[in-house]
Structure 1
């Protein structure tokens, strides 16, 4: 005569029997490496786009930037980059309020924050020589260990790499982050770089 074992209920066993420990079939698999990708938003050319980018940046960096002054510096750099991108987009053509020609990206780690701002003007970057507030891209260069520009036939992306307070980025870190064409300041002993983002 065929018999069946009584069903086992978690945490309980039949009298005189021991329940086998549960085995997780995925436990033996190696953990997949974490993939870090920038977070992006699309922006219009209106003045409100700067405030939107600032709020977005503050939200994304919250888990990596604990120093309020450093967070404020990053948000200030975002303001300058997005303001320049708005101006560049406006020089290309007139945009409707619903158009979103700008893209803002941010990748944060505990050692640095990488900012990306893309505008639809593929011409070489022309910083405002006399911005109203007297800073312009100068403020970006005050806080960034590196600033460079990547071009395509239809747009350009301005990058800024802002290190955490007390962090000096290594030559390898700078080379990895600045592999697109551009230049960076020599705030690190960058023997791996020729000053133009290359080796």
Structure 2
């Protein structure tokens, strides 16, 4: 079963809450109470950058070590890129139908603080399983999950179903 960080955009918003600096005003987000933070991901050109800023701001607030935060930010960047590239419903509708753009959230990012690290999870509507491609030095793409594999302590995904899937990775502080 795919688990999503929130049932709807409304549930992700808190009354009177404001997103951290650098997070778009139209981006639903949830502050980080008790080691959990989530934000809706749009299909705009700045979504990956917003996800990186959200992650860095959240981990700084949790006082996570800088190296762990750097690795988590890169992992989130790759997971979000893959979710938007491969997991969005119908790319044509997302780009050209402004009514869909205003209401549809193609993916969610959730961060959960753990004892010595953080769990990064990205949920999308795609039904295809992530594929770790063989290393190809001449390929122009296909390295994202390799980076996730190298930088995380573990990673995986929920079995895709009609509501989509969640790809996750854990990063643990060393020392």
Which TM-score bucket, shorter chain as reference? 0.5 to 0.7
- How do 1:53-72 residues align onto structure 2 when only pairs under 5 Å count? 53-72=51-70
- In the TM superposition, 1:33-182 aligns within 5 A as 36=34, 38-90=36-88, 92-94=90-92, 95-96=94-95, 97-98=101-102, 99-127=104-132, 132=140, 135-150=143-158, 151-166=160-175
Between the aligned partners of 2:83 and 2:142, the Cα distance in structure 1 is 17
Say if 1:88 and 1:120, in contact at 8 Å, map to a contact too.
no
**What secondary structure is seen at the aligned counterpart in 1 of 2:61?**
coil
What number of residue pairs does the alignment pair up? Answer: 132
Compared CA separation, residues 81 and 122, structure 1 to 2 (3 A): same
**Partner SS, residue 174 of structure 2:** coil
- Structure 1 CA distance, aligned partners of 2:145 and 2:41? 20
Paired position in structure 1 for 2:13: none
Report the alpha carbon displacement of residue 70 of structure 1 after superposing the two structures with TM. 2.4
Are residues 156 and 73 of structure 1, via their aligned partners in 2, closer, same or farther at CA, if it must alter by over 3 Å? same
**CA offset digits 1:139-177 (Å, max 9, x no partner):** 1111211111113322110011111123xxxxxxxxxxx
Whole-Å Cα distance in 2 between the matches of residues 66 and 120 of structure 1? 30
Cα shift readout 1:26-62 (whole Å, capped 9, x = no counterpart): xxxxxxxxx9463111111233110111111111111
Normalized against structure 2, the TM-score is what? 0.65
| SS of equivalent residue, structure 2 residue 166 | strand
Helix, strand or coil at the partner of 1:41: strand
Secondary structure of the equivalent of 1:62? helix
In 1, are the aligned partners of 2:133 and 2:142 still within 8 Å (CA)? Answer: no
* Gap runs ≥5 in structure 2: 1-32, 96-100
Higher RCO, 1 vs 2 (CA within 8 Å, ≥6 residues apart): 2
In 2, Cα distance between equivalents of 1:70 and 1:133? 25
- Verify the 8 A CA contact 1:64 1:109 in the aligned structure 2: no
Q: CA deviation at 1:79?
A: 0.4
Structure in which a larger fraction of residues adopt helix: 2
